Copies of this chain bind each other. A is one copy, B any other.
């Protein structure tokens, strides 16, 4: 069973909004055993939408659209769907009641535009949007579209179009609670389905890794596909099968791979580094704090992104200014004068300082030059010192992330390096 996503909105095509919806939807479709074939972003434009629908239906059984369902003039998706499926808008009393309920504490939001939200295409099946005013519409496609250029595609079985709002949290709740269960029921859950296994590696170049595992990769059965996904210094190595191999077969291959990569392996599932670290700390009932200079709260934001992080993550002090490093974190003035803020001694004192201040088992500190300004010949942009304080002592390491990288990449590399080494230190303790 094959699906495509069409995201509708001019904002995507002028770069005002990053399409984060598609990746999220792709994950949910994959988990449900539905292959996602293509993602297409189109303008809020009648002809463009009609053509994209036709092209998508020529390749896929299910087309999911997001966007263009708001109450304002630039939102035309509902009208175009009516044209494509040759139907008209009618009032829906259930959607009407839901919208009245949704806005009962904000009656001023009920107006002539909101009222257009309970007009729905007559031939569509309506699924509730629990958290928003735009209903989710399901169309069944058993005849051709309206364009002259329609292609001949199989009419074996019904094809489905699901139109959802583009607001991410509305789309997510709609997908999880309505759309995926609906599609699974209507189309029958396929057995086997898609299986992915991901290993996360750090500290090896992509091409070196590829050569190191070449023999193993060449011996893979045709039913399995290997992909290399490098990002911020971490390589995700993903082995996939699309219904042609069993979980056992893929796990056997993964076990055979491990001896080739054990020096670089940091996790055997595709989790954010902060989740791996969080799980380690939760299992051990230990705690951590951070003191950040160049990473400026990014390490904290990463650690906090996990629900339940307050059980193990005590907090951060972001201290740009030397006086704050001194007063809050207890870094020695002599250290700052003699060694500078970006130095082994300073970053160790920062880590030890915040570990004592927040009474934690572990602490990570960062101090570096994220650029684009502030570099010197002996400490060029990209120089980052990181320290890890533990119950057994403190270790520090100097990284050089600067070659041709921007501020954003440098801080992201520093966060990655900080988390990876903390995972390794706790893992071996």
A contacts, CB < 8 Å to B = 10-20, 22-30, 36-44, 48, 52, 55, 70-74, 106, 108-109, 111-114, 130-131, 167, 169, 172-173, 194, 196, 198, 205-208, 210-211, 217, 225-231, 236, 238, 240, 270, 292, 296-301, 303-305, 307-310, 313-321, 323-324, 327-328, 357-359, 371-373, 403-409, 411
Contacts and interface: CB of A to CB of B under 8 A. Distances in A.
Given A11-B238, A26-B15, A113 B210 contact: yes
Nearest to A30: B14
A317 B320 contact: no
Given A18-B20, A72-B206, 9 more contacts: A12-B26, A14-B194, A15-B27, A39-B39, A111-B208, A114-B207, A314-B321, A318-B318, A328-B357
A400 to B, nearest CB: 10
Contacts of A371: 307
Contacts of A196: 14
Contacts of A17: 23, 229, 231
Given A16-B236, A321-B315, A359-B323, A38 B37 contact: no
A317 B316 contact: yes
Contacts of A14: 26-27, 30, 36, 194, 196, 240
B324 A315 contact: yes
A373 B26 contact: no
A375 B83 CA distance: 46
Given A13-B38, A38-B13, A296 B301 contact: yes
A240 to B, nearest CB: 7
B310 A320 contact: yes
A41 B42 contact: no
Contact of A358 (B112, B292, B321): B321
A328 B318 CA distance: 13
A372 B299 CA distance: 21
Contacts of A22: 12, 15, 18-19, 41
A25 B16 contact: no
A93 B36 CA distance: 40
- Copies of this chain, whole number: 2
Nearest to A360: B321
A198 to B, nearest CB: 8
A116 to B, nearest CB: 9
B304 A300 contact: no
5 contacts: A13-B38, A19-B23, A38-B41, A112-B211, A307-B372
A73 to B, nearest CB: 7
A233 B325 CA distance: 35
A378 to B, nearest CB: 17
A25 B12 CA distance: 11
A40 B37 contact: no
B207 A111 contact: yes
B297 A207 contact: no
A216 to B, nearest CB: 12
Given A296-B300, A309-B296, A74 B320 contact: no
Contacts of A206: 70-72
